[in-house]
Structure 1
C-alpha cells in the first residue's frame, strides 16, 4: 500500500497512504471541489507537517465513514523536481500508465480513503484534478509517481 515518487527529482520519496487519515492536510472528498478558495488558501499556507494529536471519538467515527483526499502539492515539492521536470507519469498496477503536466499534478488530490476504507482493489491511491473535472473518472491503480 505504498506509493513511490521518483524520477527526475532531488529526493525520491516513499508515501504511506494508510497514515494520512491522521494528517491535518486531508480534505473530505465532497468538500475538495466545492470550496476552492478555502482549499487553495489552506494548501498554499500550510507550512509545517501535521502535529500528532489525539482524536476525539466523533472524529474517529467520521474517519470510518467519510472519503478523503490529500493535496499532492506538498509531496511533490518535498521530492524537489529538477528544473527541467515538466511531466508526471502515474505508473499503474493495471499497466495503463497515464501522463499529465507536473503543474496539474501539483494542483491535484490523491484519494486514499473511500467510505472509511483504504483503496485495496484499485488503489492504493486515485488522482483527481483540482477542478474536479475527472471526479467521475479519476486516475486509479496508481502505485508509483514518476517525474519526467
Structure 2
C-alpha cells in the first residue's frame, strides 16, 4: 500500500496513503473540484493558503500538519468520507531536479505518461468512505482542473520522475 516517488529527484521518497486520514492537508473529494473565489474564503482559509504558499513554511515545517487532538465526533466523521491529498506537498520534499519534465505512472494496467506540470497539479484519492482504496489502489490520480474526474488514473504503484 505504498507508492514510491523515484527517478530524477534529489530525495526518493515513499508515500504511505494509509496514514493520511487524519492529516490536515486532506480535502474532501466532493469539495476538491469546487472553485472557491477569494471572496468566499473564510479568514482562516486565506491564512492557511498564505502560509502554505510561502517557501519559509515548507522549509521550517518539515513534519506534516496533523491534528494534535481530535474529538471522537471528528474521528468518526473522518472515517465516513472520501478524501484526496494534493501531491505537491510530497513533490517539494523529493526535490525534483530542474531538468525533469515528464512522469511515468506505474499502474496495474501498464505505465501512463503525463507531464510534470500535470502531476504537480493533481490530487491522490486515498480514502473512499473512510477506508483505504482497495480496488485499483492504493491511490487514484485526479487532475485539479477536474478534466479526468470521471476517469481518474487508477492502480498507481510507483511514480517515476523523468
TM-score normalised by L of structure 2: 0.83
After TM superposition, the structure 1 = structure 2 runs for residues 58-97 of structure 1, keeping only pairs within 5 Å, are: 58-94=73-109, 96-97=110-111
Q: How big is the shift at 1:42? A: 5.1
Instruction: Report the secondary structure of 2:126's partner residue.
Output: strand
Larger Cα Rg: Structure 1 or Structure 2? Answer: 2
What is the aligned-residue RMSD (CA, Å)? 2.0
2:51 corresponding residue in structure 1: 45
Runs (4 or more) in structure 1 with deviation over 3 Å come to 35-45
| Unaligned runs of at least 5 residues, structure 1 | none
TM-score normalised by L of structure 1: 0.91
* Cα-to-partner distance string for 1:17-47 (whole Å, 9 max, x where unaligned): 0000111100000001013556898567323
CA contact (8 A) 1:67 1:115 kept: yes
How many pairs does the alignment contain?
A: 147
Q: How big is the shift at 1:115? A: 1.0
| Unaligned runs of at least 5 residues, structure 2 | none
